Amino acid sequence: MDKRLYIAYGSNLNVEQMTYRCPTAKVYGKGILKGYHLLFKGRPDNAYLTIEPKVNREVPVVIWDLKPEDEISLDRYEGYPSFYYKEDVPVELETGGVVEAMVYIMTNKIKDRINLNLPSEYYLNAVSEGYEEFGFDLKYLEEAIELSKIKKN
């Protein structure tokens, strides 16, 4: 396979970081991942985004067109297969079509990574920059932060 579509919802929304990690990746389009919501999971003040199924919820995403070397680079970055696993899911494009694309979802294999917690300021800033770059509503990140605060207490 010479290319693969990939769904980004966290720090890989940040074009500068993706350009560094995956120099040949190209933005395929924006979309909505329906039936999922965002959560921050990990250690206190060092949590990362993941998605989990949730009825009547959605997550704004960017779909990247990857070459095999980009996917290998992302596998290393995402800690695949220990930290995140990959799943192919349908995603609705901003243009109205639907495509099947790969997404990384956090595993429950690493015990200190399964708890809801807050992200580092650095990570949150990187994700927020991506949200702003693509014109996404920050409410999705704010909701994930609020969920982490509620579950943490």
Dump pLDDT digits (tens) for 37-84.
999 999 889 999 999 999 999 999 999 999 999 999 999 999 999 999
Q: Give the pLDDT mean for 95-107.
A: 96
Identify the pLDDT of residue 114.
Answer: 78
Phi, psi dihedral angles at 14 (to 5 degrees): -75, 110
- The tens digit of pLDDT for each residue in 105-138 reads 999 877 766 789 999 999 999 999 999 999 999 9
> Is the pLDDT score of 1 beyond 60?
no
Total count of domains within the chain: 1
Q: Is the pTM for the entire model greater than 0.85?
A: yes
Is 78 labeled as catalytic in the residue annotation?
yes
Domain that includes residue 17, residue range: 4-152
Q: Which residues are annotated as a binding site?
A: 6-11, 123
Q: Is the distance from CB of 48 to CB of 106 less than 8 angstroms?
A: yes
Q: Which of 78, 94, 129, 142 is catalytic?
A: 78
Q: What's CA 44's distance to the chain center, in Å?
A: 19
CATH of residue 126's domain is 3.10.490.10
Which residues neighbour 151 within 8 Å (Cβ) at sequence distance 6 or greater?
A: 115, 116
Q: Which residues are annotated as a binding site for substrate?
A: 6-11, 123
